[in-house]
A and B are shown apart, each in its own frame.
Chain A
Amino acid sequence: MTAIRTPTLYQQVVDSTPDGHRLDICLQCGTCGGSCPSGGDMQHTPREIFALLRAGYDDEVLRSNTPWYCVSCYACTVRCPQAIPITDLMYTIKQQAIARGYYDQHAAAKFSETFVGFVEQRGRSFEFGLATRFHLFHHPLQSIRLGMVGLNMLRHNRLALRPKSIRQMEQLAAILNKAKELAAKEMQA
């Protein structure tokens, strides 16, 4: 408990976020925590996440539900008195959690993955497939309730049953594969 920690995650997070180094000048003022619409449900406020990150409590940061409850509303970012790109840092922490194998713990991570899976297969997202696939796998009970919403959506002509694809899927796949390859290299560096 009292040992001095070496913050390793901190460096990685700030290095891989545009303007992430501004986090060095965080005042711990709490404007972000106060502004966050999901703040009440987060295990740690964004400010606390930054404090933990600096102090080297990497594990706690990666386990926290905080970044997954971030809805990217940018309220914190525009209000932060030190102009820290908080929302973008949240994205990076999520990426780190996935890269380091912590993501199982978050429904949100699964949701994002399912979503991305669709985009990678078809180039478009497809909400009927998404909602069912996601909920059947992860929330079998809840999916009954949400199924009602789904049915209702069908009734209002708001769900497609057939997925759409883009024409040049191979081109997109090639681009994404190359980008992933570059990203993997970035991670190693």
Chain B
Amino acid sequence: MTSRSYLYYPGCALQHRSHAYEVANQAVAAELDIELVELDDWNCCGATEYFTINRLPAYALVARNLALAAGQDGGDLLAPCSACFLNLYKTDRHMKQYPALAAKVNKALDAGNLHYEPGTVRVRHLLEAIITDIGLDELRARVRRPLYGLNLAAYYGCLIARPYPVFGSPEQPTMMDRLLEALGANVVPFSLKTYCCGGHMTQISEESAFEMIHRLIKNAAESGADALVTICPMCQLNLDIYQDAANKHYETNYFVPAMFFTQTIGLALGLAPDQLAFGQEFVSFAALIEKIQDAPPPRTRPERRPKQALPMPAMPEEV
């Protein structure tokens, strides 16, 4: 396999709070012959906060990264965080769509001797790049420790699914489901796969945040998931470090670890847990590793529908 190279925008969260994600990304990238060239001197994307305070500086903040990326060789710009991805992608799109905005943003960039021509940098999320560029077939071929017996819920969160449908359906995407299946896991139907994790609500109203988090862990547990697989540090943070508090608030005791998707891939590629920074999570992964079986579990025959049952409509395969 030829090695692939990308510009990489880790984002602030991966520096400390979600460092495990960074570790797993690097480990998996190395294993898959992907070169992640860190964008030099990148700055914060503003998360969901900066656009709240002042729109134009928020665009300028993000555009500085785009301008830096345009000036640095290395390929498409990958973001592992959904908020970073959306801010970078949206700024590029909006600058292209609204020339007046682009002009103002560039005036601001000019003060730092930078310029960004909208459309020059292709912004992508790490998950999408792995799935489209490496491909599921190749991944399947590289799996050394299939995740047989693991029941996983693919959790996309909101910002990756919306408002730009880069992942297919903004409501019920299936891209990550296919990926997890390729790793050998059993993917459970998860109704809330694009439901919000609560975002920054933990900082503003615990009540609201706990409600959203609780809904997710409850539905995941009830769908039979052993773990949730996330693609965003914010989602993982909320589901992981606030799971205990949300459980207490609702007097429940759901236990659903939230993994980063690269941790899941890494595990299937045969990497050791400490290469993937297992242990930094609050809701422990330990039991998951035990659950992995050597052989695929016997196929349970689909329940026989009673004779009088009415047929269900066929669902078209989503691509």
**Residues of A at under 8 Å CB distance from B?**
16, 18, 37-38, 40-41, 68-69, 71-75, 77-78, 85, 87, 91-92, 94-95, 98, 107-109, 111-113, 115-116, 119, 123-128, 131, 134, 142, 149, 152-153, 156-160, 164, 166-168, 171-172, 174-180, 182-183, 186
Contact = CB atoms under 8 A, between A and B. Distances in A.
A115 B47 contact: yes
Contacts of B34: none
Interface of B: 12-13, 15-20, 41-44, 46-57, 59-61, 64, 94, 97-98, 101, 104-105, 107-114, 158-159, 162-163, 165, 170-171, 194-196, 198-201, 203-208, 211-212, 241-242, 245, 279-282
B44 A119 contact: yes
B19 A158 contact: yes
A16 B280 CA distance: 43
A10 B15 CA distance: 41
Contacts of A41: 205, 207-208
A126 B16 CA distance: 9
B32 to A, nearest CB: 26
A125 B47 contact: yes
A174 B112 contact: yes
B44 A125 contact: yes
Given A112-B52, A119-B50, A157-B19, A175 B60 contact: yes
A91 B16 contact: no
A160 B15 CA distance: 8
B196 A71 contact: yes
Contacts of B53: 94-95, 98, 112-113, 116
B71 to A, nearest CB: 13
Contacts of A175: 60-61, 64, 108-109, 111-112, 114
Given A112-B49, A112-B52, A164-B15, 18 more contacts: A18-B94, A18-B97, A40-B208, A69-B205, A77-B162, A77-B163, A127-B13, A152-B282, A156-B280, A159-B16, A168-B41, A171-B112, A172-B43, A176-B57, A177-B111, A178-B110, A179-B60, A179-B61
Contacts of A176: 57, 60-61, 108
A73 B55 contact: no
15 contacts: A41-B205, A41-B207, A69-B208, A73-B158, A73-B199, A77-B162, A107-B203, A107-B204, A115-B49, A124-B12, A134-B203, A149-B241, A168-B112, A171-B64, A179-B105
The listed residue with most B CB atoms (<10 A of its CB), out of A77, A85, A183, is: A183
B159 A72 contact: yes
Given A18-B97, A111-B204, A158-B17, A182 B52 contact: no
Contacts of B50: 112, 115-116, 119
A71 B114 contact: no
B200 A119 contact: no
Contacts, number: 197
A68 B194 CA distance: 21
Contact of A178 (B44, B47, B111): B111
A183 B113 contact: no
A41 B206 CA distance: 11
Top 7 nearest A-B pairs by Cβ distance? Answer: A74-B162, A178-B111, A160-B16, A179-B108, A71-B199, A73-B158, A179-B60
A38 to B, nearest CB: 6
Given A95-B55, A183-B56, A167 B41 contact: yes
Nearest to B245: A149
A75 B162 contact: yes
Contacts of A92: 55
Contacts of B204: 68-69, 107-108, 111
Contacts of B212: 37-38
Contacts of A91: 51-52, 55
A16 B55 contact: yes
Contacts of B98: 18
A123 B55 CA distance: 17
A38 B165 CA distance: 22
A138 B207 CA distance: 17
Contacts of B56: 179-180, 182-183, 186
Contact of A74 (B42, B159, B200): B159
A124 B43 contact: yes
B208 A38 contact: yes
A158 B14 CA distance: 10
